Amino acid sequence: MKSENPTALGLKKSFGYGDRLGLAGPGHIAANEKFDFAGIFAQQSIRELDRTKRTAEEVMSAAQRSLAAVDYDKPWGADGDHLKTEEDVRRMAAAGYTFFTIDPSDFVVNEANGMGENDLRETVSRQESANIYGGHSLENLYLGKSYEISDELDLAFTPEALLRAGVKYGEAVHHMEKIARSIDRECADRPFEIEVSVDETETPTTTLEHLFIALELKRRCVDVVSLAPRFTGDFEKGVDFKGSLQLFEESLQGHAAIAKKMGPYKLSLHSGSDKFAVYPIIGRVCGELLHVKTAGTSYLEALRVILREDLPLFNDIACYSAGRFSVDKATYHLSVTDEDVAQLSHQKIADQEDFYLNQNKGRQLLHVTFGSVLTDGKRENGQTFKEAILENLEKHSQLHKDLLNVHFSKHLRLLSNG
């Protein structure tokens, strides 16, 4: 029986495939079919929809066409990603999405880590006056209690640690509850599930802070299928993990124990594309309680097709991207700098595919400028880059599928090996 519409996937380990062009579905499905992951084949954030000038319905339809073409008969999901407002929720719910990722990053107070105790107390007092904790005192809720998370992990808040967690995440959780209630209303007649994400913040989420978020969600009766902390190390777009693997694994073990105890719910890895160094660790530690989210890496594989089959078009895109980088980088944490990009016009690149699509600087340059390329970029003949890219991908659909199949099989294999 065909699975024409998305549904809730529950605690089955899952993998999300962002598709900014609408033609990556066949490659995504081919890779996913070889591994034991539930696929989220329609996935787009509000930010990506706005930057590509696509609608939620267009993203959904592209996924459904690809699935129908292979008579797909397994449950699959559709993720309305990084939802910040109730209008965002209505927009994705109306298009039939079933997985809703709440992004409260505008309410996370990153400065909490550097605040003194007096400032922390004053801030929490203002929160309590604003009814952030529903008329409760933060200290009365959680201070003096011990939480047995696992045989190896017992947690308790010190006064300072509780204040810091409250300041950093209190208003964010309050906002999560507001958006969750909106999702409840919009999807009252069908299956749905909620993910909460605090990954796009400046500082890592500690185990105590994760516990605080989980306790507050439970107290507010907000059920989540997955939670995305800000993990230790750097998860930059389009490139591998940077940081200590040992510290990452130690931290991940604590987060996984909390997710199992307080839910259970899945741990979600955002900016999950190309993080090959940590995949075996994640697969081993998280087991079934795992969701991985990818997006821009599929766009880069599309550009690999363009480079191989229409090098003049690729060169036009690369040059245009270099001119847009200083503006488009604003919302990303990156290693590549304006100086790196400025030097590109002065150096001879012997192997363009290796530099632009295998090395970090080239990948990040192309990754963060996708919105400008797909909405505003044009060739000298007046044809838009998007039209030219889609024309090439349609013409070379088998190569496009094969590249995606190989690329995502590497992702899923390493996760499964763990």
Beta bridge partners of 15: 39, 292
Catalytic residue among 19, 79, 81, 103: 81
Contact at 8 Å (CB) between 304 and 393?
A: no
Count of positions (residues) in the chain: 418
Question: d(Cα 237, Cα 171) in Å, to the nearest integer?
Answer: 27
Neighbours of 119 (CB within 10 A): 14
Question: d(Cα 418, Cα 294) in Å, to the nearest integer?
Answer: 19
Could you give phi then psi for residue 187, rounded to 5 degrees?
A: -120, 30
Q: How far is residue 280 from each of residues 277, 404, 413, measured CA to CA in Å?
A: 7, 20, 9
| Identity of residue 152 | E
Give the contacts of 313 (CB within 8 A, at least 6 positions apart).
Answer: 306, 379, 385, 388, 389, 392
Helix axes 296-309, 360-368, angle to 10 degrees: 110
Neighbours of 402 (CB within 10 A): 16
Task: Tell me, yes or no, if 81 is annotated catalytic.
Answer: yes
DSSP-derived 3-state class of residue 17: strand
Task: Tell me, yes or no, if 301 is annotated catalytic.
Answer: no
Burial class (CB in 10 A: 0-12, 13-18, 19+), 24: buried
Question: d(Cα 231, Cα 233) in Å, to the nearest integer?
Answer: 6
Catalytic residue among 79, 88, 128, 195: 195
DSSP-derived 3-state class of residue 193: strand
Catalytic residues: 81, 195
